[in-house]
Structure 1
């Protein structure tokens, strides 16, 4: 049965490929560091962005996210947002496998109004993104009811040139936490194709996994992903399609491996690896994107030291400080696991 375009639609209605299962990585924003004798630089480091993109592609991730909360989107200008997406898209064009469908590049396009959100979606599309990741508009939370939040996503989906992934992250949306009924109501929209559940509610995840095919005419094409690496396996057990995890910037192969072990029926090995990843991810959760950045040179070599720089008002964690010591010690086990998986990949299976 053909889909009737809703009124106000400004994009050509075309078939939308389902997002593939697997690990999606919300990339950090990389900035040039300042020297002790120079004023702050913190301009975008495009070479570092492209090196990291290539690294993640080689690790076998399913897709990339640019300008999520891990990527300091709120610290970037519109011009910088476009430049970062273009850098990632350029690397993907050279390195990714396009044999089945375009490699997913999901761009954070969150704003408080429908109009600006759509503008961000258009700019992301023009820069090379394939999908848009959108938060509920929480600034005026007290003046909006639940129907208002659902209506926001429907309005954006009707007019956006990119299909949407819902970003359910209460901490970044003034406490707005979409429930499973609301997410399923949005899953019925053909141009809303997935959800990232950073709320960490695996019961909600299970309900959405169960209900989405029913509201989408029997198709299992609505990506349901957890929002951190500490419950990849728990999500897979109840039917999740993968994860969108900031920790995967550090140990992408370990995160991918959890899914491989689960699919192969090697549950005890998957459980053991998940426990190690969860312990390390707790430090990434506690210290946030600044902690993930601090760990970049630990996992990817001293040449990535510049990747540890956040944008003011945030400051780089002190290399000799307690936080970095705790991160180094707490992530040591997963670092060794990741090194072993890299060595195995390089040396051949």
Structure 2
């Protein structure tokens, strides 16, 4: 790729992957439609084949198809400035590098990588994790974003010192904090001079005396909040952006929290954050099946996850709709925020 699209502050959506309900094959028209809807809503980047994308249920060829179709749809709709971050998590350095190469061929510009965890007893040490991430960064044709998500990697939770140390590698350009630890995010963002959106407060650029600074020759560092229910807290902590599953359902609401923050409307941002946190809490209990079925209920597309994930019954979907009415009323009241 001759020129990579820079990551910028804002909301990134880890998209769900759509399947035909009868054949279980990829539903590429819906994959394309959803990506364009998100971009029009003001989402500044798409994460394909992450945890929400059911990557563990897809073959390598299917993963490439999802990335390729998403890129083609965004380009055709005039959203060439919306980059794709692809999940490239495998249990080995070699496997993650191969997935990164696949992602590059399919049109992704960055990769998101979890720590290995199958052999938890052998790979959970700081040195093993350091070797893994720097090894992936050495071999990956795309810049790497560390994915700190203890809930899906047998409890491995990297601390700020380790993340800062790993991130000195020039091909590591960010971290997604799905650990929801805002203190950790604050320390990493400060030490690595993470980019930030416009702020209502003067920015303190004083470097941390406890950590080395990082060169930004490859790309300025990006500190991503990983859950929508601490979007405003992420911004207050010096974070750059969010990668949040709730943006599949309510992208404009997620974007509006950023807008209100940057406009200095903190009371309004706080009120909206509470509504967003309530909605995110509801969706966090039903995860991928609920996200897809609530998309179907509210927007007429979505469908079901690939087995063995189970579908929600009709009563559960109705209950879910009721609990999301407040957030969806806000979502439907907002305009699209895309400049395209």
TM-score, normalized by length of structure 2? 0.89
Residue 135 of structure 1 corresponds to which residue in structure 2? 114
| 1:188 Cα offset (Å) | 1.2
1:1-349 alignment, distance < 5 Å = 18-34=6-22, 41-98=23-80, 102-144=81-123, 145-213=125-193, 215-217=213-215, 221-300=220-299, 302=300, 304=301, 307-319=302-314, 321=315, 323-342=316-335
How far is 1:298 from its partner?
3.2
> Aligned equivalents of 1:62 and 1:131: distance in 2?
14
Counterparts in 2 of 1:72 and 1:230: CA distance versus 1, 3 Å: same
Contact 1:111 1:117 in 2 (8 A): yes
Give the equivalent residue in structure 2 for 1:37: none
CA 1:93–1:72 in 2, change beyond 3 Å: closer, same or farther?
same
Contact 2:42 2:337 in 1 (8 A): no
Distance 2:26 2:67 in 1: 12
Q: Deviations over 1:262-312 (max 9, x none)?
A: 010000100111100100100111111111112102332x2x1xx131111
Give the 3-state SS of the residue equivalent to 2:246 in structure 1. Answer: helix
Structure 1 distance, partners of 2:275, 2:143, is 35
User: 1:17 Cα shift?
Assistant: 6.1
Instruction: Measure the CA separation in 2 of the matches of 1:61 and 1:328.
Output: 23
- Distance in 2, matches of 1:165 and 1:64, equals 14
Q: In structure 2, what is the Cα distance between the partners aligned to 1:240 and 1:208?
A: 9
Structure 1's unaligned 5+ residue stretches are 1-11, 35-40
Which deviates more, 14-23 or 325-334?
14-23
Residues 40-76 of structure 1 show CA distances to partners (whole Å, capped at 9, x for unaligned) of x110000000000110110111100001111111000
Is the 1:163–1:191 Cα contact (8 Å) retained in structure 2? yes
Contact 2:20-2:303 within 8 A present in 1 as well: no
Aligned residue-pair number: 319
Q: Is the 8 A contact 2:5 2:83 kept in 1?
A: no
The CA distance in 2 between the partners of 1:185 and 1:96, in whole Å, is 38
Structure 2 unpaired stretches of 5+: 194-211
Given that 1:29 and 1:71 are in contact with CA atoms closer than 8 Å, whether structure 2 keeps it comes out as yes
- Report the alpha carbon displacement of residue 174 of structure 1 after superposing the two structures with TM: 1.4
Q: CA deviation at 1:103?
A: 2.7
CA-CA distance at 1:19 after TM superposition: 1.4
Q: CA deviation at 1:171?
A: 1.2
CA distance, structure 2, for counterparts of residue 295 and residue 260 of structure 1: 25
Q: Is the 8 A contact 1:57 1:96 kept in 2?
A: no
Considering fraction of residues, name the structure with more helix.
Answer: 1
